[in-house]
Amino acid sequence: MSLSHYTRNILNIKDENITFEEDCLEIKKIKDKSIKVFHGKLSYTPEVCPNCGCLYESNPETIIKYGFKKNCKIKTTRVGNFDTILLLDKQRFLCKYCNSTFTATTDFVDSHKQISNDTRNSVILDLMDKIPEKYISKKNNISSSSTNKILDSISKDNLIKNNGKLPEIMGIDEFKATKDTISKMAFIIVDQTNKNIFDINNSRLSTDIEKYFKRYPKNERDKVKFITLDLYKPYYKLMHSLFKNAILIPDRFHIVIQARNALDKTRIKLCYKSNPNYTKLKKYWKLILKDKRELNKTKKKYQKCFKKNMTQEEIVTYLINTNNELYETYQIYQSILYSIDTKNKGIFLSIINGKNKKVSKYMKKAIRTFKDMEKYIVNAFDYEYSNGIVEGINNVIKQVKHSACGYRKFSHMKARIMLIKGLLNPIKS
């Protein structure tokens, strides 16, 4: 094996036009860090002048070697746990036909770039894992701005996804994103069939969502069968106008959340200092919101506030009986939980169509919302689909945001999410 062959192997270079001579390796100290510096040469006989298209073969005298572009610095993957740099002398050529010069190229590194394609691929592979970018930069021996540049280059958006096809069963939701998103919330579209992200848009405003979906032709939009979404009313009108055949299904989880928030606000209203049960109502908020079927009814534990042993059920029974409005609101909340959990549409409808005079104003408001959206809410009972997958994906997004200590640029965050979820694979083969 020749020295060149051997060195290429070490550096993972496949291009045989890159050669090495003896003494090609030097260990340099930069800022107290030892760095391996390889010195190589890139040269070959060109096939064609990139400027005028003149072929070398037909006239070998026309294109001549014309010195070197020396010491082009390329950061490459680490060798033996040392940061490694390749200083490459690139052959220059002169085309006598058009009197222009050009430099030799290699697939080891793109022209005008300082990072080898190998390193770039290694960075992209790391970006597919849930690890902080700071760590990725360090591991690959590049600056964080270089990592950002790689993210930039792969976050160029493909406007139309999936050959212009939309998911038949779609979930939509919004999440708090980066500061450069419009209205600070991003809009996420999930393909419920393959349980993955379809796309993320940097605005959740109706006009922007409309613009987004209208890029898909009407006959494609007409193929969408189901859309799961939260209880945000403006979305319903919009989705109806965009997807005339789709059945809109409010997410069961969001229905519960509305009722849950109403009960919690009812409790908080009672948490004023002069209320003798102030500390207890403040302390046991979680138990009050819990599904009463899941409360422990047998195991007694010492409760400091009560100065005695009590079960969870006894605590809740005591607390809701301290106030009539809280009691009534609690019962309605528990019935809603039960009806949704058991998919009992009858119970739910009898609740929202009942009198409910004694419940708190917060629960009255929640029930008004339910009544207002009754024709959609029944779909949540009639169909299995819900936004559970979307919620799960939102959790992944939260982890991504957390591991990168927050993103300033929406495009970077999006690219990272798409990489981690396996929806983007920009690695050159």
Residues contributing to the site for Zn ion (CB under 5 A) = 49, 51-52, 54, 95, 97-98
CA 379 to chain centre: 29
Q: Which residue lies nearer to Zn ion by CB, 57 or 294?
A: 57
Q: Which residue lies nearer to Zn ion by CB, 101 or 356?
A: 101
Q: Which amino acid is at 137?
A: S
Minimal distance, residue 58 CB to Zn ion, in Å: 13
Minimal distance, residue 103 CB to Zn ion, in Å: 14
Q: Which residue lies nearer to Zn ion by CB, 59 or 153?
A: 59
Closest CA to 86 of 75, 96, 78: 75
128 contacts: CB under 8 Å, gap ≥ 6: 419, 420, 422
- Measured over all CA atoms, what is the biggest interatomic distance in the chain, rounded to whole angstroms? 102
Q: How many CA atoms lie within 13 A of 255 on its CB side?
A: 32
DSSP codes of every residue in 80-119:
TTEEEEEEEEEEEEEETTTTEEEE--BTTB-TT-SB-HHH
Closest CA to 86 of 29, 12, 159, 32: 12
CA dihedral over 123, 126, 130, 133, signed as positive or negative: negative
Minimal distance, residue 48 CB to Zn ion, in Å: 8
Minimal distance, residue 106 CB to Zn ion, in Å: 20
Q: Which residue lies nearer to Zn ion by CB, 57 or 384?
A: 57
Minimal distance, residue 96 CB to Zn ion, in Å: 8
Minimal distance, residue 66 CB to Zn ion, in Å: 12
* 196-201 and 185-191 beta bridge pairing: antiparallel
Q: Which residue lies nearer to Zn ion by CB, 42 or 95?
A: 95
DSSP state at residue 146:
H
Residue 421: how many CB atoms within 10 A of its CB?
15
Q: Which residue lies nearer to Zn ion by CB, 100 or 399?
A: 100
Minimal distance, residue 101 CB to Zn ion, in Å: 9
What is the side-by-side order of every strand in the sheet holding 247-250? Answer: 196-201, 185-191, 169-176, 226-229, 247-250
For 97-111, letters b (16+ CB in 10 Å) and e give: beeeebbbbbebbee
CA 287 to chain centre: 33
Q: Which residue lies nearer to Zn ion by CB, 98 or 349?
A: 98
Q: Which residue lies nearer to Zn ion by CB, 96 or 409?
A: 96
Question: Contact at 8 Å (CB) between 328 and 336?
Answer: no
Q: Which residue lies nearer to Zn ion by CB, 50 or 426?
A: 50
Minimal distance, residue 52 CB to Zn ion, in Å: 3
- Provide the 3-class DSSP secondary structure of residue 203: coil
Residue 146: how many CB atoms within 10 A of its CB?
19
Minimal distance, residue 99 CB to Zn ion, in Å: 8
